[in-house]
Structure 1
Amino acid sequence: MDQIDRKILAALQSDASGSVAEIAERAGVSQTPAWRRIKRLEDEGIIRKRVALLDPAKLNLGLTGFILIRTATHSEEWLQKFSEGVSRIPEVIELHRMSGDIDYLVKFMVDSIAGYDALYKRLIKVANLSDVSAGFSMECLKYTTELPLDYVKG
């Protein structure tokens, strides 16, 4: 991956709705090479997909929270059941298996505490959990979907 690929990725991360001509201009190449590079980056899985980012507040999703989960069961079967069950809950926007004292971290967005309670009741039906606690975001101080490109080798 060279500097042009990095510029293309930076342009796409900033605004994927731009035309190939706009992306090419930002990367300093013509349209055809830019299109070929974008296609290659997609084929290689570096670009997973292009999406629209929505405003949670305008969708009545005013409560963002994090659920910390500990479990006494660490089998492959349990993990598969848990992962599949949590993946079916649309309010869960991220699920991480963690190192350290917490086994899983769940990020979710709902409309209210009542929405969280409904989510919690669905979550505890998914699998046997030892300890579940949650914290709620008071204010988001940084949010980005743009990944740092300084670590790309090549």
Structure 2
Amino acid sequence: MEALDLIDRKIVAELMRDATLPVAQIGEKVGLSQTPCWKRIQRLQENGVLTSRVALADPAKLGFGLTIFVGIEAPDHSAEWREVFVRAVNAIPEIMEVYRMAGEMDYLLRIAVADMAAFDTLYKRLTDAVPIKNVTSHFAMERMKFTTAYPVDTRNR
């Protein structure tokens, strides 16, 4: 894929800040008229740079007051185990993110649940579905910074 030019980077940055902005307003911010801006947005979507547009919600106001980061150590590294693990985590919507890691843990999960009882239920469901060598849970006490916007360079290089 070709590198993004300055205008593309600015469009992406604006959309990451607020995807509800009208195309004309984005165009004004990046120095384009509405139609060329819309065409660039379409191209960014077609090329997979923009993958979706979503609304962000306050987890606490939705009843998800507990965030847990869970480290998983796999009992083995076979394709079969990974397939079972992927199916298990995909079947549990409270598991918000899953990363395969390098280092001491094999996988890192971000989980959002209502409370400790809900986490206990989720924990049992996950460990019943797939064998796991070790599970380490870290409970978030306060979310001090959160963003979904990557720090795209919007300066002219």
TM-score, normalised relative to structure 1: 0.95
Mark the runs of 5 or more structure 1 residues left unpaired by the alignment.
Answer: none
Q: Which amino acid aligns with 1:10?
A: A
Alignment partner of 1:139: what SS?
A: coil
Instruction: Tell me, in whole angstroms, the C-alpha distance in 2 between the residues paired with 1:49 and 1:72.
Output: 35
Query: 2:106 & 2:94 partners in 1: Cα distance?
Result: 20
Structure 2 match to 1:6: 9
Instruction: Measure, in 2, the Cα distance between the counterparts of 1:72 and 1:116.
Output: 22
Work out the CA distance in 1 between the residues paired with 2:153 and 2:15: 16
Residue of 98, 108, 111 corresponding to 1:108: 111
Q: Deviations over 1:14-72 (max 9, x none)?
A: 00011111111111110000000000000000000101111101101010011111122
**Does residue 94 of structure 2 align to residue 118 of structure 1?**
no
Q: What secondary structure, in the 3-state scheme, does the structure 1 residue paired with 2:85 have?
A: helix
Q: What CA deviation, in whole Å up to 9, does each residue of 1:72-124 have, x standing for no partner?
A: 21001110110111011010000111101101111100000001101101110
Q: Measure the CA separation in 1 of the matches of 2:114 and 2:33.
A: 46
One-letter code aligned to 2:131: N
- The offset of 1:149, in angstroms, is 1.4
Aligned counterpart, 1:85? 88
Which of 50, 66, 81 is residue 47 of structure 1 equivalent to? 50
Q: Is 1:69 aligned to residue 72 of structure 2?
A: yes
Counterpart for residue 25 of structure 1:
28
Matched letter for residue 121 of structure 2: A
Q: Please, which runs of 5 or more residues in structure 2 have no aligned partner?
A: none
Q: Which amino acid aligns with 1:72?
A: P
Identity %: 47
Match of 2:137 in 1: 134
Of 7-16 and 65-74, more deviation after overlay is shown by 65-74
Aligned residues: 152
Could you list the structure 1 runs, at least 4 aligned residues long, displaced by more than 2 angstroms after superposition. Answer: none
Q: Distance in 1 between matches of 2:22 and 2:70?
A: 39
TM-score, normalised relative to structure 2:
0.93
